[in-house]
């Protein structure tokens, strides 16, 4: 992987948030706090950039599990306001209105888009910006809901791989319990990112960096990492098939 000076990356992230908020005359930021590491990292960076009074955390559970406790742990350790909104009634009423039984992926995407609606309602009302939490590993593989968690005003982590986010989180002092948790979108019980994508983040990031940033031939990547070419091709397919998620909607030009 590339070697970054994480202290300097951290300062760049803090400066970026401060500048984005000040230049837009926003009062502060709203962040969806899941209890996972990406949102915790964005919250920690935001408090460094803006102070705790200008950061609002929204925890929006669908399932009853430990994630709400973890989200509270993040907010309490930072001293930021944490509002909990149970999205089950809203999501269930969407499903009732559909007239068909959505599969678990469609249902998960409804959950993600419901959270987006709630984040923007708070941003509108409070003159705040929505900070996204997507990282480069998710962005390049399309591992996010289009117009759901992929939607935000600024996304400070978008150019950092997941393995790099882990390093920044350690430097920030994010609670260990949050750092050590298995990454999960939490869209269905037992879901984990690495199972669904079929690869560990450590290997994914090594492949993505060579494939996308260094533009290395696939056979060289496989040889250098001591893996089969099929694994590299799997990642390449994820990148290619999610191209549409990295652009605004296209139309013909005249």
Residues in contact with Mg ion by the rule CB under 5 A: 34, 36, 184
Name the residue nearer to ligand DND (CB basis): 118 or 185: 185
99 is in an annotated binding site: no
Burial (CB count within 10 angstroms: exposed 0-12, middle 13-18, buried 19+), residue 252: exposed
Asked if 66 and 184 touch (Cβ cutoff 8 Å), the reply is no
In whole angstroms, give the CA distance from residue 55 to residue 114.
21
To ligand DND, the closest distance from the beta carbon of 141 in angstroms equals 9
Tokens of 213: 């940033």
Residue 223 marked in a binding site: no
Q: Pick one of Mg ion, ligand ATP, ligand DND, none as the site partner of residue 163 (Cβ within 5 to 8 A by kind).
A: none
Binding residue for ligand DND, selected from 44, 62, 139, 144, defined by CB under 6 A: 144
Nearest position to ligand ATP, beta carbon: 36
Secondary structure element (H or E) that encloses residue 58, with its range: strand 55-59
What is the torsional sign of CA 76, 77, 78, 84? negative
What residue has token string 């803090």? 14
Q: Smallest gap, in angstroms, from Cβ of residue 125 to Mg ion?
A: 26
Q: Which is nearer to ligand DND, 123 or 197 (CB)?
A: 197
Among residues 67, 149, 153, 205, the one that binds ligand DND under rule CB under 6 A: 149
> Between residues 56 and 221, which has the closer beta carbon with respect to ligand ATP?
56
- Which stretches of the chain bind ligand ATP, using CB under 6 A? 32-34, 36-39, 58-61, 67, 115, 133, 138, 149, 183-186, 193
CA distance 74 to 53: 15
At CA 203, angle to CA 198 and CA 208, rounded to 5?
95
Contact 146, 138 (CB under 8 A): no
- Residue 162 is labelled as binding a ligand: yes
Instruction: Give the separation between CA 186 and CA 16, rounded to whole angstroms.
Output: 28
Q: Is 38 annotated as a binding residue?
A: yes
Among Mg ion, ligand DND, ligand ATP, none, residue 136 binds (CB under 5-8 Å by kind): none
- The count of other CB atoms within 10 Å of the CB of residue 89 is 9
28 binds, among Mg ion, ligand DND, ligand ATP, none (CB under 5 to 8 A by kind): none
Which neighbouring-strand residues pair with 32?
58
Pick out the residues of the known binding site for Mg(2+): 38, 138
Residues that bind ligand DND (CB under 6 A): 105, 108-109, 112, 138, 142-146, 148-149, 185, 187, 193, 196, 244
């Amino acid at each position: 992987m590339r070697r970054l000076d994480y202290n300097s990356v951290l300062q760049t992230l803090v400066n970026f948030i401060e500048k984005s908020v000040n230049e837009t005359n926003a009062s502060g930021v709203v962040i969806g706090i899941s209890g996972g590491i990406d949102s915790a990292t964005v919250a920690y960076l935001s408090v460094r950039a803006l102070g705790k009074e200008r950061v609002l955390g929204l925890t929006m559970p669908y399932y009853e599990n430990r994630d709400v406790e973890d989200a509270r742990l993040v907010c309490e350790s930072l001293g930021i306001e944490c509002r909990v909104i149970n999205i089950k009634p809203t999501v269930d009423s969407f499903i009732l209105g559909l007239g068909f039984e959505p599969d678990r992926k469609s249902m998960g995407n409804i959950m993600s888009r419901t959270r987006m609606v709630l984040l923007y309602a708070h941003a509108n009302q409070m003159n705040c910006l929505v900070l996204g939490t997507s990282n480069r590993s998710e962005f390049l593989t399309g591992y996010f809901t289009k117009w759901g968690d992929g939607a935000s005003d600024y996304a400070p982590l978008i150019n950092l791989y997941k393995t790099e986010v882990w390093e920044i989180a350690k430097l920030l002092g994010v609670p260990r319990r949050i750092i050590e948790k298995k990454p999960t979108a939490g869209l269905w019980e037992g879901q984990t990112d690495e199972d669904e994508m079929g690869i560990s983040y450590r290997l994914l990031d090594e492949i993505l960096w060579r494939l996308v940033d260094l533009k290395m031939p696939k056979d060289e990547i496989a040889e250098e990492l001591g893996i089969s070419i099929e694994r590299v091709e799997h990642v390449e397919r994820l990148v290619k098939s999610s191209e549409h998620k990295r652009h605004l909607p296209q139309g013909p030009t005249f």
